[in-house]
Amino acid sequence: ASPRSSRRIEAHYEIREVLGDGTSGQVRRVIHRQTGQEYAVKVISLRRQLDLTSMEHEVTMMQSLDHPYIVQLVDVFVHPGI
């Protein structure tokens, strides 16, 4: 699940309702277009290089986790300007 800026999330997931809002972003329900599997997606605005560096570190850490009580990171999308 590495960030790939050439892909658009809308091509892979049908974006549905907002599940929650917070200081770091918004969580929405999505449905994978090929499998029909439901997921939650967290949309985060990265406006500074510090934010991007911090997020890259979090993605690396989340990819290494495998525990039944911790949310699993499935995919990462990066969109310039969002």
pLDDT digits (tens, 9 = 90+) for 32-63: 999 999 999 988 877 766 677 888 888 889 88
Q: What is the pTM of this model?
A: 0.71
Segment 11-16 long-range contacts (CB within 8 Å, at least 24 positions apart): 12/75, 13/39, 13/41, 15/41
| 78: amino acid identity, one letter | V
Read off the pLDDT band of 76 (50, 70, 90). Answer: confident
7 C-beta neighbours (distance < 10 Å), count: 14
**Burial of residue 47 (number of CB atoms within 10 Å: 0-12, 13-18, 19+):** exposed
